[in-house]
Every structure is written in structure tokens, then in C-alpha cells.
């Protein structure tokens, strides 16, 4: 093929993406070597990006490097804690991605050389790329709470990455005596899944109510408010015994906020005692969720800002620090989008479309994003938050679309709450299948 035709052909490829063809469009890399994308981390963001790049342009050579053989979703892991589902039901493998032609490598990435465009792994391999997508999720600020570190967390789990720690926490809750105390320490903002700790409280209260009704839950919170605040307050009160007007009063759930002395400074693992402004709290089971920052590899690769997160261009998710490296999911700064699985999945598709267009020599298409988070308060009572986002070209920012989104109405509607509960499970099946299959 002569150069002229080839150039036109490549241009045509760009048009396809811009116009939004989704299905594999055959090979565009005629006469040249295939473009290479290396993806670091096969969680929600990384796996979605891998699949969608292959769907958009099957000529792109996609390698996904993931530390673990299987992935446990954080979402619905709170139902594992309450015994409503098994750990196996939140486990996913990588064979689905292989079917899309993604090369899945089981290894830990130890370095990314932005100049040489090279990814290095603990196993000693190197992978060169034209564009790299980094999606390592979160890491913890272990220094935040004295006496709490990665080692202690094996027995006093955060369970904020699902898997072994989810199983440990479930085991401890099961072994706890009726009348015991569960102490939870949620993190400061921003963190993965803003409604997550409060859904966890509801799920554990649900388990206690039906199995250990004399038990209680104490939340030592460094914040004054949290996600879906009114809905959780009303839900806890409706099902479990909680007084929103007097949150530290008697009732199964007591919420000690920052003003009431909820700020925690240390933990004594030997006595399972949490030390907060309001005093010492001894738990039979303790769950500390430390403050968070971008995944470790993002720091090693120099992709983080002074707050510990990765700044990106919201249209392409390309790092504003290193060219040709994109960051999606919890690690990136996509505010006003929250750090959620739905957001990671949505960001990954915008990123995939941009990466494909840029590799083809075009420019990134106009993005569209959505976030939704469901929380199950009790059987037949689930709530959600949703938002539609767009990209503001002139401000160079992701923005909420005015008038869209919002919360489940506060006025309790049993019919719709039951539907939301069923739709939560549908969302779970669809997003995991959209990500891994």
C-alpha cells in the first residue's frame, strides 16, 4: 500500500472511533507494527480499559499486568460480612479478558519509565508501550493511626480491599459473642466508596439483629457528615435502633462524629482498644479503615501530586505529569466523580476511546460519564446515588450535568426500595460482566 492510501486509511480509523464504532473493526495496523498498550492493575478500571480498547480497535496489542490471579470485588463484600453471600460470589477471573485478546500477565509492576516507555515487573520482565494505563486502586496512609499498620491489619482488618481480609472480618463477627461490641473507624475524605463504611454498618447491624441482638456498633468517625447521610440515618433508625437526633445515645448503632470526639489517634492491638478524642473504646471486633492515597506504583512512577493522588486530563485521563501514561479509577483525581467502581468503569471507557483515537493519530472524542452507587440497608430497603457528568472544554474539567442525578427520595416507598434492592444485584452482575467478560 502506498503512503498516501495508508495515511487516509489511518484517518478513516480515527473517524470510526470519533463517530463511536464499538465493535472490533479489524486490523488498522497494515504495514506497520501494532500499537502497544500496557495496563497496570486488573481491577475495575484496568480490566474495563483492556476490554474496551480491544472492542474499539482489535489491532491494538493490549497487555494487562495484575498482581493477583483472581479479583474480589469490594462491592457487595459488605454482604459477605453479614453472611448474605459467599466470598466466592464476589470472585472473578481473567479468562474473559483473554477471550477479547487481552494478554493477561500475573506479576507485580515495580517501575514505569516514562522516557523509555517501559514497564518493569518483580518477575524481571519488561514491557514496552506506546501508551500505558495505570489503575492500581488505593493504598493506605498507615502513618495516620499510631499502632495500626499493614501487619496489625492482618488481625484487625480494614477489609477495604476485598479477599482475605473480608474473610477474616466475617470470621471474627461470626465468632463474636452476643452482646459484643463492634468498633468501626471510617477514614477521612477523600476515600474509596464514600457510602461504603455506612453500608457496612447497616449490613453488620442486619447480621447482629438476627443473630446477636444484644450486640452494639460504635462508629468513631473523623467526619461531621457522610455520603447519603439522611438516607442512612433514617435507614439505621428504621431497622436497627439509632437516634439521628442523638447519635451517641442508646441503640444498636452509635455514631460518634468528629465534634463528639470521633477522631482516632491510636490503636492498641493487644487489647483491641481504639483511642479517640472521646476516650478509649474497646471492641470485641475492630475494623479500622485508614485514610487513603493512590496505589503504590503511582508514587514509584512519579504520577502523584502533593495530596497523594494522580492529576489527569479529564478528557483523556492522561497524566498531567507524564505524557503517554493515563491513570483511571480510585488513584486519579476525577472529582467531582467519586472513587467508586461505577466511576472507575466509566472513566476507563472514556480513557480507552481517547487512547485508541490518539494511537490512530486523531484526537480524543467528546467524553460522557456516569456514576451510581447502590447501598443495601436491609432486605427490601436499598438506596442509590446517581450522577451524569460531562466534560467542560473551556474550563478543562469534568462537571456534573445540571439537573441530573441525585439520591433515592427520602420518603420511604417500600415498593421502590424493594426494586432498588433487586436492581442492586442486577447492577452487580452487569458491571462485573461488563468489566471482566
Q: Which residues bind other proteins (CB under 8 A)?
A: 1, 5, 8-9, 11-13, 15-16, 18-22, 52, 342, 345-346, 349-350, 353, 365-370, 372, 384, 386-388, 390, 401, 403-406, 408, 415-416, 419-420, 422-423, 425-427, 429-431, 433-434, 437
How many residues at the interface with ligand FAD, by CB under 6 A? Answer: 38
Question: What backbone phi and psi angles, to 5 degrees, belong to 209?
Answer: -55, -40
Residues 289-308 that bind ligand FAD (CB under 6 A): 295, 297
Spacing of C-alpha 232 from chain mean position: 20
Instruction: Name which of 96 and 311 has its Cβ closer to other proteins.
Output: 96
| Closest CB 432 distance from other proteins, rounded Å | 9
Contacts of 384 (CB under 8 A, 6+ apart): 372, 373, 374, 375, 407, 408, 420, 424
Among 321, 386, 434, 437, binds ligand HEC (CB under 6 A): 386
420 near ligand FAD (CB under 6 A): no
**Binding partner of residue 330 among ligand HEC, other proteins, ligand FAD, none, CB cut-off 5 to 8 Å per kind:** ligand FAD
How many residues at the interface with ligand HEC, by CB under 6 A? Answer: 6
Residues 357-376 that bind ligand HEC (CB under 6 A): 370, 372
**Binding partner of residue 78 among other proteins, ligand FAD, ligand HEC, none, CB cut-off 5 to 8 Å per kind:** ligand FAD
Q: What cell was used for 294?
A: 493512590
329 near ligand FAD (CB under 6 A): yes
The site for ligand FAD (CB under 6 A) is made up of: 40-46, 65-68, 71, 74-75, 77-78, 108-109, 135-137, 160, 192-193, 196, 200, 295, 297, 329-331, 339-342, 344, 373-374
The site for ligand HEC (CB under 6 A) is made up of: 370, 372, 386, 419, 423, 427
Amino acid at each position: 500500500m502506498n503512503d498516501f492510501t495508508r495515511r487516509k486509511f489511518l484517518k478513516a480509523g480515527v473517524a470510526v472511533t470519533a463517530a463511536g464504532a464499538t465493535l472490533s473493526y479489524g486490523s488498522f495496523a497494515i504495514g506497520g507494527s501494532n500499537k502497544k498498550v500496557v495496563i497496570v492493575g486488573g481491577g475495575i478500571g484496568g480490566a474495563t480499559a483492556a476490554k474496551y480498547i480491544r472492542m474499539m480497535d482489535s489491532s491494538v496489542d493490549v497487555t494487562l499486568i495484575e498482581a493477583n490471579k483472581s479479583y474480589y470485588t469490594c462491592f457487595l463484600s459488605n454482604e459477605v460480612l453479614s453472611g448474605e453471600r459467599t466470598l466466592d460470589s464476589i470472585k472473578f477471573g481473567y479468562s474473559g479478558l483473554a477471550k477479547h485478546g487481552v494478554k493477561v500477565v500475573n506479576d507485580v509492576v515495580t517501575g514505569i519509565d516514562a522516557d523509555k516507555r517501559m514497564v518493569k515487573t518483580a518477575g524481571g520482565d519488561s514491557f514496552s508501550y506506546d501508551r500505558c494505563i495505570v489503575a492500581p486502586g488505593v493504598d493506605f496512609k498507615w502513618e495516620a493511626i499510631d499502632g495500626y499498620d499493614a501487619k496489625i491489619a492482618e488481625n484487625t482488618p480494614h477489609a477495604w480491599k476485598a479477599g482475605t481480609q473480608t474473610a477474616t472480618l466475617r470470621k471474627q463477627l461470626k465468632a463474636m459473642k452476643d452482646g459484643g461490641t463492634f468498633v468501626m473507624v471510617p477514614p477521612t475524605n477523600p476515600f474509596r466508596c464514600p457510602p461504603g463504611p455506612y453500608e457496612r454498618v447497616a449490613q453488620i447491624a442486619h447480621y447482629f439483629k438476627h443473630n446477636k441482638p444484644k450486640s452494639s456498633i460504635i462508629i468513631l468517625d473523623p467526619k461531621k457528615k457522610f455520603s447519603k447521610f439522611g438516607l442512612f440515618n433514617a435507614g439505621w433508625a428504621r431497622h436497627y435502633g439509632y437516634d439521628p437526633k442523638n447519635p451517641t445515645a442508646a441503640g444498636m448503632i452509635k455514631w460518634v462524629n468528629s465534634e463528639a470526639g470521633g477522631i482516632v489517634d491510636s490503636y492498641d492491638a493487644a487489647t483491641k482498644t481504639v483511642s479517640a478524642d472521646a476516650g478509649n473504646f474497646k471492641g470485641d471486633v475492630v475494623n479500622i479503615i485508614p485514610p487513603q492515597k493512590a496505589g503504590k506504583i503511582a508514587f514509584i512512577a512519579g504520577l502523584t501530586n502533593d495530596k497523594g493522588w494522580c492529576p489527569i486530563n479529564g478528557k483523556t485521563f492522561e497524566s498531567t505529569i507524564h505524557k503517554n501514561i493515563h491513570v483511571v479509577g480510585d488513584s486519579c483525581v476525577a472529582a467531582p466523580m467519586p472513587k467508586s467502581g461505577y466511576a472507575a468503569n466509566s472513566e476507563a471507557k472514556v480513557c480507552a476511546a481517547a487512547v485508541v483515537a490518539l494511537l490512530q493519530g486523531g484526537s480524543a472524542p467528546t467524553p460522557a460519564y456516569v456514576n451510581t452507587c447502590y447501598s443495601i440497608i436491609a432486605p427490601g430497603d436499598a438506596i442509590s446515588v446517581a450522577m451524569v457528568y460531562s466534560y467542560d472544554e473551556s474550563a478543562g474539567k469534568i462537571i456534573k450535568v445540571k439537573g441530573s442525578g441525585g439520591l433515592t427520595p427520602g420518603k420511604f416507598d417500600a415498593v421502590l426500595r424493594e426494586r432498588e434492592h433487586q436492581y442492586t444485584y442486577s447492577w452487580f452482575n452487569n458491571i462485573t460482566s461488563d468489566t471482566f467478560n
